[in-house]
Amino acid sequence: MKTLTLLAISFLLTSCATSQNDEHFAKGVEMTPIPFLAEIFTGEHNEFSVAINPVNPNMILFTRRIGDGKQKIYETYYRNKQWTEPKIASFSTDRDEIALFTPNGKTVYFGSERPIPGRPNKGNFDMNIWKTEWNNENWSEPVPLPPHINKVQAEGEEWPLHNLSYFYTVDGSQFYTGSLVKGAKGMDIFTTTLTDGEFTPLEPLPATVNTEEFWEYAPILSPDGIYLFTQVYQRDDGLGGDDIYVSKKDENGNWLPSKNLGPLVNSKQNECPAGFSPDGSYFLFFAPSNKNSIDPDAKGRPYIIKTAALQLDTLFK
């Protein structure tokens, strides 16, 4: 009886803590999208990635570009009942973007234009994946991933060949990214597995996700790893511009044909998946700050909606 009582108390405390943490970033969120943390993401600047720490939801990393300057990775914390003024993370020293947490809440992978020691980029623009660790309230010195992941451009090669920014995982083992490889017509989604500290070579996802004629990139997974969200450019069944598509794993672990997420999220403008709250209750995505803008390069901001509103199970019936 005492054990059951302790378990009940523990469950209640955990539930209250989760609810309280949700209120930090999801207050008032229902079944239609609203701007995410409007006091932080005001629409003044271009912002196009956001990651909530899965262990400590009071910590958020995001990408911001001010004017024509280089984009940087910023950090903000929930303290004293409010979010702190965003500041550039100490590890963000170049053109950096798309900082993504692993499940331990300490390891972060991000895309960067910074040169890789001993492997200079000879093309026109090259982003690669770097890794940093959060220890004792400080970020470690970033290190690049190995050459079979980060393939720098040779002379005469151009963006987006070999460019990597996203490096997403929900289990700390299998990672997803998007890139253009030699001979391909467009960007595709790739996966790699971390085993005994080493990454396997990048492998493309099947044709149910990757198409020959369209670009797929910006992979994001639901916390349970069942749904894969991607940004796809001007597919025939799209609503216009870049739309968010989603695929689902079947009972055999295979990815089903991806489907447009629909007008609740997508529009004639550009949309991009951003991620989820740690418990999966809320979905975040990026869209233009000005919903009436026809500028393909319009400033973007994050939006948030209850995941239940996406009706994912119905979409794949």
Task: Give 255-295 pLDDT, tens digit per residue.
Answer: 999 999 999 999 999 999 999 999 999 999 999 888 777 77
Cα-based torsion angle of the residue sequence 150, 186, 221, 282 in order, rounded to the nearest 10 degrees: 120
Distance (Å, whole) CA 230 – CA 245? 5
**Taking residues 116-133, what's their average pLDDT?**
95
Question: Cβ(121)–Cβ(114) under 8 Å?
Answer: no
Beta bridge partners of 249: 255
pLDDT-above-90 percentage for the chain:
80
Hey, CA dihedral for 253, 255, 256, 261, is it positive or negative? positive
Report the CATH fold assignment for 2-315.
Neuraminidase (2.120.10)
Band of pLDDT at residue 88, cut at 50, 70 and 90 = very high
Q: Which has the minimum average pLDDT: 17-21, 23-27, 140-144?
A: 17-21
Does the pLDDT of residue 14 top 70, yes or no?
no
Task: Give 157-178 pLDDT, tens digit per residue.
Answer: 898 889 999 999 999 999 999 9
Q: State the pLDDT at residue 87.
A: 98
Band of pLDDT at residue 10, cut at 50, 70 and 90 = very low
pLDDT-above-70 percentage for the chain:
92
Does the pLDDT of residue 90 top 90, yes or no?
yes
Distance (Å, whole) CA 85 – CA 313? 38
> In whole numbers, what is the pLDDT of the chain averaged over residues?
91
Q: State the pLDDT at residue 7.
A: 35
Q: Pick from 12-21, 43-52, 92-101, 232-241 the range whose average pLDDT is largest.
A: 92-101
End-to-end alpha-carbon separation of the chain, Å? 43
Q: State the pLDDT at residue 18.
A: 41
**Taking residues 61-90, what's their average pLDDT?**
96
Structure tokens at 25: 């970033």
